[in-house]
Structure 1
C-alpha cells in the first residue's frame, strides 16, 4: 500500500508542478502563418494600449506565456534578447501577453528575472483564445500589415536565431510582395 501511495503522490506532484499544458500537445492554431492578426486590445504594464491597430506599420513579435511554464521560462530570455536587440528600432514592436496570470505574478517574475519586455497581464484567456485553443509558449512574428509570417509553439520552442532571422527577413521585404518574395527566394514561412 505504501508503494501505491508513493506513486500516487509522485504523479500528483508531476501534474501540479508540470508546465501548464493541456491534453492536446500544441493545441489548435486559430492564427497561422499567412493569416492576419485578429482584432484585439490589451493594456500594457506601463498603462498604454496594445492593439492590432497599434501594431500596424511595424514588424511585431508577440509571445503568449505563463511564468510557471518551464518552456515559457526558457523562451522568455530569448524574447528578452530579441527585445534588447531591436529596442532602438521603431519599426519593430515586441510584446508579451500572459495567459491566465495577473499583474502581481507577472511583475514579480519580470523583476526576479530582469526582464524589460513590455507585457500585458491577462487574468483570463480572452486575448489568447483569439490565437489558439491551447499550448504555451506561442510566438508570432508579423509583418507591417498584420499578416503572420511565422508561429512557434512549445515543440520545439523558438530559438534566437530563428526569431532574429524572421524579423530581419520581414524588415527587408515590402508588405505587399512579402509572400511572393519569400517563395521566390525559397525562404519558408514557418509554423513550429
Structure 2
C-alpha cells in the first residue's frame, strides 16, 4: 500500500510539472504573437504625462527596455548617444520600471534627454511584462512604420544592427 501511495504521489508531481511546463510554453507563444503588432501601452513620460502608442509619429520605432544600473543598458545608451545622428528619423523609446528620477538621471547622463524623437518612459511595476511579456534587460523591439515587429533583440545589441532593420 505504501508503494502505491508513493507511486501516486510521484505521478501527481510529474503530471503537475508537465501541466506547468505546457502552460508556460502557451503563455510564451501568446506573448510572442501579441507583440507582432505594437501592443497598446500607456507609460509615464518624464514630465509625468501619459504616453501611448497613439503619441508615436508615423515612423520606425525602436523600443529599449532598460534599467539604469545594467552595464549592458549603459553601453547601449552610450553607443546610441555617440551615433545619435543615425536615429533622427526614428521614434526611440527607452522604457524602465524604475522611478522617474532614476530614469531622468540616466537620460541626462547619456545626453539623450533633449532629443525630440527620444522618449524616456516609466512602466508601472510588472507593466512592461504585462504588455510585452517576459524579457531580459536590455530587450530591444524594432517596429516598422506600420507598427509591425521587424526584429526583437535580447541583450546588448550593436547600433548598426538597430539601423539595419527597416
Give your verdict on TM over 0.5: yes
Once residues 85 and 51 of structure 2 are traced to their aligned partners in structure 1, the CA distance between those partners, rounded to angstroms, is 19
Q: Which runs of 5+ in 2 are unaligned?
A: 1-27
What is the CA distance between 1:81 and its match in structure 2?
A: 4.3
Matched-pair contact (CA < 8 Å) for 1:42–1:50 = yes
What is the CA distance between 1:66 and its match in structure 2?
A: 0.4
Paired residue for 2:75? 74
Once residues 144 and 34 of structure 2 are traced to their aligned partners in structure 1, the CA distance between those partners, rounded to angstroms, is 11
- Pick from 103, 108, 115 the counterpart of residue 111 of structure 1: 108
Q: 1:123/1:41 Cα in 2 relative to 1: closer, same or farther (>3 Å)?
A: closer
What SS is found at the alignment partner of 1:139? strand
Who wins on radius of gyration, i.e. which is larger?
2
Q: Which runs of 5+ in 1 are unaligned?
A: 1-27, 171-192
Q: TM-score, normalised by structure 1?
A: 0.60
Say what the alpha-carbon RMSD is for the aligned residues. 2.6
Q: 1:34/1:130 Cα in 2 relative to 1: closer, same or farther (>3 Å)?
A: closer
Q: 1:112/1:78 Cα in 2 relative to 1: closer, same or farther (>3 Å)?
A: closer
Matched-pair contact (CA < 8 Å) for 1:142–1:148 = yes
What is the CA distance between 1:115 and its match in structure 2?
A: 3.0
What SS is found at the alignment partner of 1:127? helix
What SS is found at the alignment partner of 1:140? strand
Residue-by-residue CA offset, 1:67-99 (whole Å, 9 max, x unaligned)? 111211111223334544333x3xx2111011x
Matched-pair contact (CA < 8 Å) for 2:59–2:91 = yes
Once residues 37 and 149 of structure 2 are traced to their aligned partners in structure 1, the CA distance between those partners, rounded to angstroms, is 6
- Pick from 82, 86, 97 the counterpart of residue 95 of structure 2: 97
What is the CA distance between 1:45 and its match in structure 2?
A: 1.6
**Corresponding residue pairs, total:** 134
Residue-by-residue CA offset, 1:107-132 (whole Å, 9 max, x unaligned)? 12233333334201235121343113
Q: 1:32/1:60 Cα in 2 relative to 1: closer, same or farther (>3 Å)?
A: farther
Paired residue for 2:20? none
Which structure has greater helix proportion?
2
Once residues 73 and 134 of structure 1 are traced to their aligned partners in structure 2, the CA distance between those partners, rounded to angstroms, is 17
